[in-house]
Amino acid sequence: MTCFFGARLFDGERLLDDHALVVEDGAIRALVDVEARPRGGEQIDLGGGVLAPGLIDWQVNGGGGVLFNAEPTPEGVAKIARAHRRYGVTGVLPTVVTDAPDVLAAALDGAREAERRVPGALGVHVEGPFIDPRRPGVHPPQWIRPMGEADAAALAAARAGVLLVTLAPAAASLALIERLVRRGIVVSLGHTDATAEEAAAAFDAGARAATHLFNAMSPLASRAPGVVGAALADPRVICGLIADGEHAHPAAYKAAVAAKGPGGIALVSDAMPPAAGGPDVFELQGRRMTRVGGKLVDAEGRLAGAAITLIDAVRYMATTLGAPLASALAMATSTPARLLGLDHRIGRLAPGYSANLVHLTDAHEVAGVWMNGRPLDPAGDIL
């Protein structure tokens, strides 16, 4: 048994003062008044700050110098997960972006195996190729294509852990969206020029998220609300936000949170290899990408993912934008857990939940991380 005390506890919804967290056999046993905590076992005085559930990032292209598209293997996932784990992320969806069919197939196989044996690997996020060529971002246009019956069948057969698919209504019929959802696949709209009406129809068919809201999608206008307006207006939809100060204007971030609340926003890093300690320059499908200040760009200056980790997004929301810390943390813990259908076991501090924990200083820096109650070494490996 291990008892954590001396910090405020964030339980997934609120901050608790004068409480202790009791962990046993890798799971949370109880939250108790600090004076009533058990005195046996290991006692860890955290000395201030906040103890929260481990962060959950559902859009991770890479990190620590590794790109999932370039290394779509269990070993690649393990390297990415280890790199982000040091920054408090205890659950990741490795994300494969639009690429050749053999890369997608390898990524599905690699993620399936990784979900079984890599701590914190939750499944896979397939972002393309079933997107709209009118909103490609940096996705290579030669591989963008509509989804067919065989594609839907392959995705349904490939499931291991969580499978999240970002697609565009222009590339996938409502019948195919419904079919994916019936098989337990999480469908998110992204890289799409859909009208608000087309987006609403996709949400009615079962799509439940919007990938990196505001970016690579039809914007909100007064008489043409686009995907942004449809997603903000629908209480069923959880919106992903890359809260790095680069992918959207501060007022746009604030508007999204005002419209959806912390239960409708799931922060993501959209991390590329430079994140979590990687180099400033990398190759994406043969194209040179560079970190310039706080953003990643291609040779034409287009945004190419992000160089942050999820704690940077939390810190941006809480410090730069002034969101309550509990709200910022919920957007990186309990809300993504609910989106992924994992809110029965991760994303909260509650009895029976996995003891995946992050200790943050008062400056929102990571001071300690535990996976199933076990601490990390400096390299991100579990002791």
Any domain includes 25: yes
Any domain includes 205: yes
Residues 6 and 104 placed together within one structural domain of the fold: no
Residues 369 and 310 placed together within one structural domain of the fold: no
Q: Within the chain, what is the greatest distance between any pair of CA atoms?
A: 64
Any domain includes 356: yes
- Determine contact, residues 280/274, Cβ cutoff 8 Å: yes
Band of residue 373 on the pLDDT scale cut at 50, 70, 90? very high
Any domain includes 243: yes
Residues 139 and 246 placed together within one structural domain of the fold: yes
Amino acid residing at 334: S
Residues 289 and 330 placed together within one structural domain of the fold: yes
pLDDT at site 379: 86
Residues 370 and 247 placed together within one structural domain of the fold: no
Residues 42 and 59 placed together within one structural domain of the fold: no
Number of neighbouring beta carbons within 10 Å of residue 358: 28
Any domain includes 16: yes
Residue 160 has pLDDT above 80, yes or no: no
Range of the domain at 116: 55-339
Kindly provide the b/e burial profile for residues 171-197, where b requires at least 16 CB atoms within 10 angstroms of the residue's own CB: bbbeebbbbbbeeebbbbbbbbbbbbe
Any domain includes 382: no
Residues 143 and 10 placed together within one structural domain of the fold: no
Q: DSSP per residue over 197-250, as a string?
A: HHHHHHHHTT--EETTTTTTB----SS--HHHHHHHH-TTPEEEEE-SSSSS-H
Number of domains making up the chain: 2
What are the pLDDT digits (tens) for 73-116? 999 999 999 999 999 999 999 999 999 999 999 999 999 999 99
What are the pLDDT digits (tens) for 291-342? 988 889 999 888 888 999 999 999 999 999 999 999 999 999 999 999 999 9
Bond into 129 cis (ω within 30): yes
What are the pLDDT digits (tens) for 328-366? 999 999 999 999 999 999 999 999 999 999 999 999 999
* Alpha carbon distance 288, 277 (integer Å): 18
Any domain includes 380: no
Residue 197 has pLDDT above 80, yes or no: yes
- Determine contact, residues 202/175, Cβ cutoff 8 Å: no
Residues 197 and 316 placed together within one structural domain of the fold: yes
CATH of the domain at 360: 2.30.40.10
* Run of H or E residues at 107: helix 101-117
* Alpha carbon distance 362, 8 (integer Å): 10
Nearest-5° Cα angle at 60, 196 to 345: 90
Residue with the larger pLDDT of the pair 49 and 303:
49
Any domain includes 186: yes
Kindly provide the b/e burial profile for residues 13-46, where b requires at least 16 CB atoms within 10 angstroms of the residue's own CB: beebeebbbbbeeeebbbbeeeeebeeeeeebeb
* Alpha carbon distance 271, 67 (integer Å): 9
CATH of the domain at 320: 3.20.20.140
Residues catalogued as catalytic:
270
Number of neighbouring beta carbons within 10 Å of residue 2: 18
Band of residue 158 on the pLDDT scale cut at 50, 70, 90? confident
